[in-house]
Amino acid sequence: MTRALSWFFSAIALASVALLIGIFAWQSVPVWRAEGVGYLTGTRWFFRTHEFGALPMIYGSLVVSAIALVLAAPLGFGAAIFTAEYLPRRARLAVKVLIELLAGVPSVVYGLLGILLLRDWIYDLFARFDPLSGDTLLTAGVLLAVMVLPTIVTLADDALRSVPAAQRRAARGLGLTHAETILHVSLPQARRGLGSALLLGLGRSLGETIAVFLVVGRQDNNLPGSWTSLQPLLESGQTLTSKLGGAETNIAWGDPLHWAAVIGLGLILLAVTGGLTLTAALFSRRSDA
């Protein structure tokens, strides 16, 4: 009976996801017909003239997520190594509870802290580059780093703790120091779990809406003149989630092509985050121990 119910509810979940993807794909058909591949590669988004290019928003999402991972990954892995390998059991559990509580803080709270503290700090720090305001892609990336850090820490800690203690004892018995045991035994055997933590953190950062919406500036059509230029990081931008969370979703309802373009953004976001989640799940199922 339990097995049958498990299969039943799993089938309902899969059917719901398939239905959601089908609805998004069907309602976005007009924009794919009108723009084709140019919908993904177009650099201009002007809904009043029916120009729909999603590339600036895709660029914004990738940039803020990359900033978040670059900042959060080293801190997260370092904290996970400390909690899993050095702290005694009771202290580790206390720290882990606190970290998981941070992961449960509503995103709007992080967004408000970004408005009150972070954007002014970013503006003052880079004042010599003369940014227009503190609402920038960099601000959104730093805020996302703070938000995904608890996720990376707790998942990386679980991956390190999954390495059998016998492996550590064997390494110490062969003469390795504690640090060498971590470097040559724990980290290599936990690498799939660590990679899964990074992928899930990336998925969280790509899908975050409210906090990014409050600090990214929401400026359309912000693309760098050169892909290696860092100047756009200190300018306002737009991400897939900030566009979907703005007023344009309501404006688009009366125009079939505009509505299809907005739904297309949702389809792109769903495909990217869903792909990352599935990859992380498959990645973490394999064991190196």
pLDDT digits (tens, 9 = 90+) for 101-135: 888 888 899 999 999 989 889 998 888 888 888 88
The CATH number for 158's domain is: 1.10.3720.10
Torsion of CA 277, 278, 279, 283, to 10 degrees: 100
**Is 239 part of any domain?**
yes
For residues 51 and 71, what is the distance between their CA atoms, to the nearest angstrom?
A: 35
Give me Rg for the CA atoms of the chain: 22
Domain count for the chain, please give it. 1
Confirm whether 21 is domain-assigned.
no
Is 15 inside any structural domain? no
Domain contains 64: yes
pLDDT at residue number 289? 43
Per-residue confidence (pLDDT) for residue 174, from 0 to 100: 82
* Residue 148, pLDDT score: 93
Would residue 216 count as lying in a domain? yes
Q: Is residue 23 part of a domain?
A: no
Identify whether 48 is part of a domain: no
What range defines the domain where residue 207 resides?
Answer: 53-285
161, amino acid identity: R
Angle, vertex CA 271, rays to CA 266 and CA 275, nearest 5: 150
List per-residue pLDDT tens for the chain, 289 residues long.
778 888 888 899 889 888 988 999 999 999 998 888 889 988 889 988 888 989 999 999 999 999 999 999 999 999 999 998 888 888 888 888 888 888 888 889 999 999 998 988 999 888 888 888 888 999 999 999 999 999 999 999 988 988 888 888 888 888 888 888 888 888 888 888 898 889 888 888 888 888 999 999 888 888 877 777 777 788 888 999 999 988 888 888 888 899 999 999 999 998 888 888 788 777 666 544 4
Tell me, what's the pLDDT at 288?
Answer: 47
Classify residue 175: in a domain, yes or no. yes
246-263 b/e (C-beta count within 10 Å ≥ 16 → b): eebbeebeeeebbbbbbb
User: What is the pTM assigned to this prediction?
Assistant: 0.87
Among candidates 52, 51, 50, 100, which has minimal Cα distance to 79? 100
Determine the Cα–Cα distance for residues 289 and 286; give it in Å rounded to an integer: 9
